[in-house]
Amino acid sequence: MRRAVLLLFSLVYLAGVAWMTLRPSVYGDGTSELLWRALDFFGRHEETSWITFARVEAAANVAMFVPMGMFPALLLPKRAWWVGVVVGFAATCAIELYQGTALSSTRFSDPQDILMNTIGAAIGAAFVGLVLPSRRRSRDRRRSPRPAPVW
């Protein structure tokens, strides 16, 4: 059952990534206006002037691809957690190729997107591969019954 739920979440997530990355325009009218108003607001204050479009876009690319690394790592055996990084890199390359060819009139391919997306996938896969296994093992140890003492 756990595997089926993970697969369903993976498919919903992939549909969302496709919707964000494979359409002619990433922003709708309201979204674009809201983003630029927020950036203008942050830019007017010294404490938040470091929040720029380039930084927001880079952070969004990393965040969007964390699940891209997590889902394969969760679906495969624990020792294959690194496959999530490969999946993230391959998906990003395919997306950038599509944007650079089929959507070249409205979108462009950016090597920084490949880097940021792959970093996000690496964070997700490493979290599953390096953090979760130790938690799973400790949980399994608690559940396993202790052998009765031999007298």
Within 76-131, where are the H helices? 83-101, 111-126
Q: What is the pLDDT of residue 26?
A: 77
Q: How much is the pLDDT for 36?
A: 83
- Is the pTM for the entire model greater than 0.85? no
Question: Does pLDDT of 57 surpass 70?
Answer: yes
Cα–Cα distance, 151 to 149 (Å, whole number) = 6
Tens of pLDDT, residues 95-126:
999 999 999 888 888 999 999 999 999 999 99
pLDDT band at 137 (very low <50, low <70, confident <90, very high): very low
pLDDT over 60 (residue 17): yes
Instruction: Collapse the DSSP code of 102 into the 3-class scheme (helix H, G, I; strand E, B; otherwise coil) and give the result.
Output: coil
